Chains A and B, each alone.
Chain A
Amino acid sequence: MSKFAKKKDGELPAVSTASLPDIVFMLLFFFMTVTVMKDSSLKVENTLPNASEIKKLEKKDRVIYIYVGKPTPEFVSKFGAEPKIQLNDKFAGPSEVGDYILMERAKKSQDLQNVLTTALKVDKNANMGLISDIKQELRKVNALKVNYTTYDGDAFNNLQ
């Protein structure tokens, strides 16, 4: 009898926080695995247009990125305010696009070289002239699969 009586001291036991680190670690690992570190910092303004009929770009290792847009304010004095192409970390002219694609293609493994997609991340205020030049260069090096990267949204929002 006395055994049972002892436990009845009326106080609430403290909630154990021993599993808190486990929970936090779980979250931590989730974010660690989904985090993608940016590999090149943007030097151009890059507000993508909206489109609704989009397809997801699966498999990041098969994608080559080309950025186009107006240089950001810190670069305007040096490179002017006209839209420029950014390849990796530097500005480039349209004629350098072909070499860049070939170089990037050579870096990929053999079996991926034929299935590469070129993702064009173009600011919505850019002109088609520059894009046409890029497209022409891409055709020259036979990189025919392109993806005009956009945000998901109503395409008519672009027109304002």
Chain B
Amino acid sequence: MGRRAGAPEVNAGSMADIAFLLLIFFLVTTTIETDAGLDRMLPPIEPPETDVIIKQKNIFQVSINKNGQLLADEELTDLKDLRAKAIAFLENNGDGTCGYCSGKKNPESSDNPDKAIISLKNDRETKYSTYITVQNELVGAYNDLRNRESMRLYNRKFVELEADYLNPETDKDLKEELKEKVKKIQELFPQKLSEAETSSSSSN
């Protein structure tokens, strides 16, 4: 009587419930982390052997005090104006050797983008958030200039080129091509952002 249809089929109706349970567990525990931030290089600890003499006019000095006030090139500056000021300094083109700059050629400001250095100094009691904002604006100044040149030469923004170049999913041939372009743009506006030691640690 019972052995008419062979083994009975297992009811798979509850499979969906089990899978849902697991799904909900992973949904809840997942945090798709998107770690991103400002990339910086610290200066090596050994001082360079030959002291390079840098003209004062080629240095754009930015200092942040403990109240978050900003001194850019010896003027009290609002944070919102910092980017424009940095851009004006970087592409000032004082000696006229930079063909792609549209600066004012002010003899009192930087000679050319290759020589222009931005120096950042902060107090030990400066808030980290202020510091990041200043860093962001300075990196932004470089990125704005690089984007402009990149648009002119390759009709694409520099930040996009670089993001593609750094993306591990980009294929090899394209990467080589991008590497060239990224390098070219970086040479046009080399990022020379130096960080002095904090003021109260009193060395040099």
- B168 near A58 with CB under 8 A, answer yes
Q: Which one of A16-24, A85-93, A99-107 contacts B?
A: A16-24
Q: Which one of A7-15, A74-82, A135-143 contacts B?
A: A135-143
Contact A156 B125, CB 8 Å, known A21-B12, A56-B163, A139-B43 = no
- A35 near B125 with CB under 8 A, answer no
CB distance from B71 to the nearest CB of A (A): 15
- B36 near A127 with CB under 8 A, answer no
Task: List residues of chain A with CB within 8 A of the CB of B122.
Answer: 128, 132
- B136 near A31 with CB under 8 A, answer no
Is A51's beta carbon under 8 Å from chain B?
A: yes
Query: Is chain A's binding surface mostly helix, strand, loop or mixed?
Result: mixed
Lowest 6 CB-CB distances: which A-B pairs, in order?
A129-B124, A158-B129, A124-B129, A31-B26, A149-B37, A155-B136
- B35 near A149 with CB under 8 A, answer yes
Contact A142 B136, CB 8 Å, known A24-B23, A53-B143, A54-B36 = no
- B39 near A156 with CB under 8 A, answer no
Task: List residues of chain B with CB within 8 A of the CB of A139.
Answer: 42-45
Is B27's beta carbon under 8 Å from chain A?
A: yes
Report which of B27, B44, B128, B162 forms a contact with A144, defined as CB distance below 8 A.
Answer: B44
Of the A-B pairs whose beta carbons lie under 8 Å apart in the complex, a sample of 30, sorted by A's number, is: A21-B15, A24-B16, A24-B20, A28-B22, A28-B26, A34-B32, A35-B30, A36-B30, A51-B38, A51-B136, A55-B166, A56-B34, A57-B35, A117-B39, A122-B128, A123-B128, A127-B128, A128-B124, A131-B131, A132-B124, A136-B197, A139-B43, A142-B44, A142-B45, A146-B39, A147-B37, A147-B39, A149-B35, A159-B68, A159-B129
